[in-house]
Amino acid sequence: MKLYTNMPEALKSFYRQELLQAKIEFDKKHYQQSWRHLERAHILGQPYPVAHTAVHWKMLKFGIKIKNGKEIIGQIPRLLAGGVKSFVGKIPVGNTGGANVPPLQPMEIPDELLSTINRTKNL
């Protein structure tokens, strides 16, 4: 069994850019766009425990800030279990991480993110 720990350096900049864009859009009150960037950061960070947990923490804070009870309740178990699942390599690949999708449902990764993931694996 392969244990995942740290995100490759080459992928970190893309992950951080998604988180930065989420904050920028949130500050403009563009909540839908902000959430989309959190979902993209989730897809990129999902295989890595710290990054995966950090995105769920940001998703929980998002839910609190916009007073979305479903998201708040949905993020708590994801926050508690997501990093562990990443550590042992048992993630639903491509899952966007929000309470609006089943937590164990694999999803198709958008082409540009898949390209980024594949490209950074070889660096």
The model's pTM is: 0.93
Distance in angstroms (rounded) separating the CA atoms of residues 123 and 92: 24
**Environment class of 18 (CB within 10 Å of its CB; exposed 0-12, middle 13-18, buried 19+):** buried
CA–CA separation, 83 and 46 (whole Å): 8
Query: What confidence tens digit (pLDDT) does each residue in 52-102 have?
Result: 999 999 999 999 999 999 999 999 999 999 888 888 888 899 999 999 999
Q: Is the pLDDT of residue 1 over 50?
A: no
How would residue 34 be classed by pLDDT, with cut points 50, 70 and 90?
A: very high
